[in-house]
Structure 1
């Protein structure tokens, strides 16, 4: 009888071949627009939410998952008495289709922080001893401001909750719903709403960090580097709450959304990105005709323009090399290039604010990137003064 692993491997090979055929320009990467498979599978394989699948990495993940499933099936087909008892509960563990990580259900789901259908967040409660309020990490999903969902946070929420840190992941209006500043305002309000209601989830409102991947990282920075939006005289109690945070955790981030800044600092054509055009409502062919008002809007919502010496420390993790030539070869590598973080680090170093930028230059660096949550949580525990 053929080993049970073979059918699973065939499924993986079919998916890999499908992705290869989707790669029409042969650059070894796929955007979601190029990917012909299910949107959910793309989002699950896109671990860092930067809107790009590296085919070699995605293929390896699929193969590993299918081999694992095949081994479990093979084990189930044999003598159950011979199975190690520790394997039994693993068969009942919910596994997301397409990736070998558990999807955890939030403790509080779709908590509404304003009126739009996208104005919701999920809370994953920390595992703590005693009743003292615990610190919180707020995660903002990526997707080029045009797609994405808070559910991506479920894939790594336990990294935080198992270490005594509450984890909140939120949705915000996308560009097709409303252009900037809508998504920025949404994320700031979500933070204020969480602070106002912190007691409901046993959150220590004085120890809150924010972070995100790609677009979410930019939204997090804008909150973290901006002046406090608290308005003590506001009629709305949410608006009275502070937007200052303790730290920033950022994956494949942009530090500016100004096409002029990007054109100056990032080689290639990243500055022409569709996501930027849709975020601010302009056409790249007509940038020479943009009004002063539109330019002021772009400048206002570019995080690097707000960085000051009293801002929180930032950790930048990039899944790319610092080599500028990769940005010339592929705009998607350009819009997620470490240069964004390195330019902000120059300001941070001048102001003596901690800003660490990690990129992938070697297999050792890639191994570190894959263990980024361990590093980030150690950093947060230090910031939160946790034991």
Structure 2
């Protein structure tokens, strides 16, 4: 009995250690569906199609210290040795959402010949900018370090994000190997460099004529624009676009505010002869990737782009 109590106490401490941060559950597929169904009565929550030889490993620990573990879910074809990889970043205004929201999209893209990784990262209630960016870059390093296990080609890595995750994906791709955006405490033999970006309705600039970012962005960026203009600038992928930016695909809804800065970035890419594509899903809402018929279009646009870049 005494031994049982000791084990129970240790288990309880472990759970407590992993639960000392606040979680915002306001952004879910179900809540988004409830908001959209009246205007779009034809929509259905998308379901993933897992191919016969595809496998999933849940909650792989890529970061672990005494205070926090961070995980990702891996999706890959176990019969293929080296697939291009897709790092997947969920949305939720840098405050809400979770990696499970990328499962359906990950299953669909994996079935087309890719290894996908849905990343957990620290959100703004737990840690402010740039910690979440560090987390995703650390996950990329871990995946490359363990490329054989996850059947991924470390020299063919794309980063894909949706909404605020799209903003992060663009920032991660445009700051390839920029030490100012690296967690110097994280030890790895690999770099966090990515070779393609897929930005699904994520802004490219926080302070821009098209942008309507306010409280959610300010909370993550440690202040309003007037209070902390440097963070608003440095967190904007547009500030870092140059000749070293990898090819990029923009998949956008019908709302201009969710691609603020995109056209300015494309002008920079064109000057440097870097390939880019824009796909607009007409008459679609934000968060369209959760639902059919739009998920299917998102998968087609994504895999056609990835095939062009990697295959």
- Superposition TM-score tier, normalisation by shorter sequence: 0.7 to 0.9
* Structure 2 residue runs without a partner (length 5+): 1-24
**1:56 and 2:51 aligned:** no
More helix by percentage: 1
- Contact residue 179 and residue 280 of structure 1 kept, 8 A: yes
More strand by percentage: 2
What residue is the counterpart of 1:384 in the other structure?
310
Aligned equivalent of 2:140, options 169, 191, 212: 191
What's the C-alpha RMSD, in Å, of the aligned pairs?
3.0
- Determine which structure has more spread, i.e. the larger CA radius of gyration: 1
Aligned equivalent of 1:41, options 26, 30, 34: 30
Q: Secondary structure, in 3 states, of the residue corresponding to 2:149?
A: helix
- Cα distance change on mapping 1:133 and 1:235 into 2, 3 Å: same
- Cα distance change on mapping 1:103 and 1:362 into 2, 3 Å: closer
What residue is the counterpart of 2:216 in the other structure?
275
- Contact residue 119 and residue 172 of structure 1 kept, 8 A: yes
- Cα distance change on mapping 1:138 and 1:100 into 2, 3 Å: closer
What aligned pairs does 1:185-334 form with structure 2 within 5 A after superposition?
185-229=134-178, 237-238=187-188, 240-257=189-206, 261-262=207-208, 265-266=209-210, 270-271=212-213, 273-282=214-223, 284=224, 287-288=225-226, 290=227, 294-321=228-255, 334=257
Tell me the CA shift for residue 375 of structure 1. Answer: 2.3
Tell me the CA shift for residue 296 of structure 1. Answer: 2.4
- Cα distance change on mapping 1:140 and 1:313 into 2, 3 Å: same
- Contact residue 321 and residue 360 of structure 1 kept, 8 A: no
What residue is the counterpart of 1:171 in the other structure?
120
TM-score by length of 1: 0.63
Q: Secondary structure, in 3 states, of the residue corresponding to 1:114?
A: strand
Tell me the CA shift for residue 362 of structure 1. Answer: 6.5
- Contact residue 106 and residue 154 of structure 1 kept, 8 A: no
* Structure 1 residue runs without a partner (length 5+): 1-31, 47-51, 63-98, 323-333
**1:342 and 2:263 aligned:** yes
Give the paired residue count: 272
What residue is the counterpart of 1:125 in the other structure?
76
Q: Secondary structure, in 3 states, of the residue corresponding to 1:107?
A: strand
- Contact residue 243 and residue 274 of structure 2 kept, 8 A: yes
- Contact residue 319 and residue 369 of structure 1 kept, 8 A: no
- Contact residue 49 and residue 108 of structure 2 kept, 8 A: no
TM-score by length of 2: 0.77
